[in-house]
Amino acid sequence: MCNQTVSLVAAELERRGIATVTLILLRKIAERVGPPRALAVPFPHGYALGRPGDTAGQGRVIEAALALLESATGPGPVLADHSLD
């Protein structure tokens, strides 16, 4: 349900002019709900940014999300995948 909750908040932010990027743990739910810009991450629930204490790995996830903010062109939804490679 978390994937839907953040997606619905993202839509509300976008309607008010705030550009968003949403991390997604279940790709199928993002396909159904359609958050404006979504980055599907290869991690289990509870670990959207990867491992606890892994500063570098968490930073790479956020950098990928920021890069999607810069590169995605509307109208959305845009759904991309974060690779660990």
Binding site for other proteins (CB under 8 A): 1-29, 32-36, 40-53, 55, 58-59, 62-63, 65-66, 69-70, 74-77
> CA-CA distance, 36 to 9, in Å (whole number)?
11
Nearest alpha-carbon partner for 79 in 49, 53, 40 = 40
- Among residues 28, 39, 42, the alpha carbon closest in space to that of 64 is found at 39
Q: How far is the CB of 85 from other proteins (least distance, A)?
A: 14
The SS3 of residue 81 is strand
Minimum distance from residue 80 beta carbon to other proteins (Å): 13
Nearest-approach distance from CB 68 to other proteins, in angstroms? 10
